[in-house]
Amino acid sequence: MPNRLFIWRGELTTRGSLTKRGLSFLSSGMLWLALFLIVPTLVFMALSFADRGEYGEIIWKFTVENYQRLMGYSVFGWTPDYLYILWRSVVVAGLTTLISVLLSYPLSFFIASRPPRSRYLWLTLVIVPFWTNMVIRAYAWFLILAPELPFAKVAAFLGLVPSGSALYPSPIAVYLGMVSMFLPFVTLPLYSSVERLDWSLVEAAQDLYSSRTRVFFKAILPQTLPGLSVGVVLTFVPAMGTFIVPDLLGGAKYMLVGNLIQQQFGASRDWPFGAAVSMALMILTMISLQLYRRRGEEIELL
């Protein structure tokens, strides 16, 4: 294509010089991302097919052993341990997302029902924990779940935990931690959809349908779908990969994918295996994103 003069946003220029200028703007940032994001990820992918030496060093020899191990096949026969960890991560992330959604709807409706001035205040109240350090929010549960406080006492009374011990580490503690961590991730995008709800449609549905649930599913859910989709993706994907919450509140026995990966880069010093597990997590992430793209429209994440 000849390099003709044309006018772009009022400026007389050529395609060639615009491309040159545009690339100069993009180059520094994109180069950085390529160097410290894309390339490392590719190397990481390659690493998942490498072998681990006796002292933890990497041996660059192609092998699928890491994936086999992940699937459960080792010299000792088949164990589903690792697959179970993956499964547990999906379940925990899924339940966390579900509970967060169930709690976010009433919260969003409540905030939307407030007079405009105090709405801002309530939203800030939701945003603040969102920005607060994850470690703090996680360990804070140590206090609430301590043996001296009523919650642990009630649980002991019900026989869920031995008397006198704290309510953590336990699956319950993990769920409490996860939901409190990720709730704002769902609430904030969902709220922006709820705020824009056309209540006349809801009222029309209330005329048509007698059951509350039908009104919800027919009139409210479809309208809030954009915000809901964003919230679900922003919650489910990171939740699968968290390791702080299960680490602090779940204990050594309640491992999620994140803990497994972290272990390979820490105590176990098995980077290739860590890479393989990361790839598995990556694949789960891709699948969830694809499902989101199918369902939701193109929403601006920020």
Site for other proteins in 208-247 (CB under 8 A): 233, 237-238, 240-244
Give the shortest CB-276-to-other proteins separation in angstroms: 11
- Restricted to residues 51-90, the positions that interact with other proteins (CB under 8 A) are none
Instruction: Indicate the residue among 77 and 115 with the shorter CB distance to other proteins.
Output: 115
Instruction: Indicate the residue among 199 and 217 with the shorter CB distance to other proteins.
Output: 199
Give the shortest CB-197-to-other proteins separation in angstroms: 8
129 binds other proteins (CB under 8 A): yes
**Candidates 67-75, 156-164, 179-187, 214-222 — which segment interacts with other proteins by CB under 8 A?**
179-187
Among 1, 12, 75, 158, contact with other proteins (rule: CB under 8 A): 12
36 binds other proteins (CB under 8 A): yes
184 binds other proteins (CB under 8 A): yes
How many beta carbons lie within 10 A of that of residue 276, not counting itself? 28
Using alpha carbons, select from 294, 297, 286, 298 the residue that is nearest to residue 237: 286
- Restricted to residues 84-113, the positions that interact with other proteins (CB under 8 A) are 103-104, 106-107, 109-113
- 161-170, Cβ contacts within 8 angstroms, sequence gap of 24 or more: 166/142, 168/141, 168/142, 168/249, 168/251, 169/248, 169/249, 169/250, 169/251, 169/253, 169/254, 170/249, 170/250, 170/251, 170/254
Separation between Cα atoms, residue 60 and residue 221, nearest integer Å:
51
Instruction: Indicate the residue among 76 and 297 with the shorter CB distance to other proteins.
Output: 297
- Restricted to residues 270-289, the positions that interact with other proteins (CB under 8 A) are 271, 274-275, 278, 281-282, 285, 289
49 binds other proteins (CB under 8 A): no
CA distances from 60 to 40, 65, 268, 282 (A): 16, 13, 19, 22
For residue 74, give the amino acid letter.
Answer: S
Give the shortest CB-198-to-other proteins separation in angstroms: 11
Give the shortest CB-213-to-other proteins separation in angstroms: 14
* Preceding omega of 169 cis (within 30 degrees of 0): yes
**C-alpha torsion angle, residues 281, 285, 291, 296 (rounded to 10):** 160
